[in-house]
Every structure is written in structure tokens, then in C-alpha cells.
Amino acid sequence: MRSKYSKETTYTSDTTSYHIPAESCRIPFSALQDTNNFNKNSLIGLGGFGMVYRGVLCDGTKVALKRCKPESSQVIEEFQTEIEMLSHFRHPYLVSLIGYCDENNVTILIFEYMENGNLSRHLYGSYLPTMSWEQRLEICIGAARGLHYLHNNAVIHRDVKSTNILLDENFVAKITDFGLSKTRAELDQTHVSTVVKGTLGYLDPEYLIRES
């Protein structure tokens, strides 16, 4: 059933204009609360796109709020891509997009809250308890199932790494960060690329060499 906030819309900025599918849930800024005006105490992550905060919706749902930098055309493009991808592709091993906000020069993606953060902090964070081998195996299987689903739907993630695998309260692994993702159809149309995108150290060597 479609949310009361859902509607088909077109986002327009000084640099770009794009279509957002109706099945996406557009949530007004006023519905986002308990982030203390995005206080640093609610900050749970940061990157080139902006910052991620812990928040709560009016109905009490815990969420992760990815606040993007609207002045960057690349970030706006990735904002659009995440909405389009996660509106059409849903799976138990992909982080769910709950909605988005794009008003008053604010661009925010609202995701389900993943209690145990990203896999990287568990692999390299010495202050955290060591995961059992059974947990590690289940995490590998979960991430593989998420990738298998994407590949069956001709979606290439293009930035799979431990920081983009999140863990819920039961340590179920879910893939996140679809800003660089492409469908096979898009790749066929733009098979020549002058800019390599992704994270060094995780890039396919062939892709890095050929730049396509």
C-alpha cells in the first residue's frame, strides 16, 4: 500500500532535473524528528556525499538519515540513483529505502536503521567483540545473496566493500549505498567512460585499466 506521503514528482535544481517514481515515499521535513536538528551526537557516519544521522519518524520508527550535499551535482545524481534503484529493487539482503526528503534546499534519504553498523567496524574495530566464524559465514552468505539478486536483475553495484555492508540487530548483512549503481541497459548505452568510479582497493582491475 502506498504511503500517504508518496507521489510522483520531478526534482529540479540549478544543475539538474530528474524524475522520481511514484512508488518512492516523499516525507516532509517536519516528519523527521529526534535528530536534535542534526546534532553531532546523532551522527553515525560521514562521507563525500554528506553525513548520516540516527533519527526517529513520527510513528516511532528508528531510521538512518543520509543528508546529502545539494550543491554537488555528483551527489545529486547519486541521490537520484539511490531513490530509483531502491524503489524498484527490494530484497531481504538490501537495505530498505523508507523515503526521501527534498524541500527547503535539503536532500535526505531515509533508510531502515541498522543497529550494528557496517561490517568494516566489526572487522577492524578492536573495541568490538570478535564475531564467531558462524556469524562471519552468515554475513558472507547474506551479502552474496544480495549481490546475486542484483545481478539477476542486471544491476551492477560498482562499490561493494565492507563499509557498504550493514548489519541489523541480528547481524543479518544487507548491502547499501547504490549511488554508483548501474543497470545493464545503462552500461550498454554508456560503455565508454572517462571517469573511473568506486573505491581504490576494491575496484575490478579490468575495469580500472579499461575505464569502462
Strand 50-57, strand 43-47: pairing: antiparallel
- Residue 151 CB contacts under 8 Å (≥ 6 apart), including other chains: none
Q: Please report the beta strands in 92-164, taking only residues with DSSP state E, as ranges in sequence order.
A: 97-103, 106-112, 155-156
> What per-residue confidence (pLDDT) applies to 63?
92
> What per-residue confidence (pLDDT) applies to 193?
54
Q: 119-210 has which CATH code?
A: 1.10.510.10
For the CA atoms of 10, 12, 15, 18, the dihedral, rounded to the nearest 10 degrees, stands at 0
> What per-residue confidence (pLDDT) applies to 202?
66
**Per-residue pLDDT tens digits for 27-36:** 888 777 666 6
Please tell me whether 69 is known to bind a ligand: no
Q: Where are the domains of the chain?
A: 9-112, 119-210
φ/ψ (deg, to 5) at 82: -60, -40
> What per-residue confidence (pLDDT) applies to 170?
96
Decide: 107 and 70 in contact? Cβ < 8 Å: yes
Between 156 and 208, the more confident residue is 156
Domain 9-112 architecture: 2-Layer Sandwich (3.30)
- Residue 205 CB contacts under 8 Å (≥ 6 apart), including other chains: none
Confidence at 23, pLDDT banded by 50, 70, 90: very low
Distance CA 212, CA 209 (A): 8
Distance CA 183, CA 176 (A): 16
**Per-residue pLDDT tens digits for 159-193:** 899 999 999 999 999 999 888 778 776 656 555 45
C-alpha cell at 56: 526517529
Nearest to 204 by CA among 163, 165, 156, 166: 156
- In the residue annotation, 34 being an active-site residue is answered as no
**Per-residue pLDDT tens digits for 71-82:** 667 777 888 888
Catalytic residue among 34, 59, 102, 159: 159
**Per-residue pLDDT tens digits for 105-139:** 788 999 999 999 999 999 987 788 889 999 999 99
Nearest to 34 by CA among 18, 19, 53, 50: 53
Decide: 145 and 173 in contact? Cβ < 8 Å: no
Q: If you search the block for the grid coordinates 570478535, which residue do you land on?
A: 130
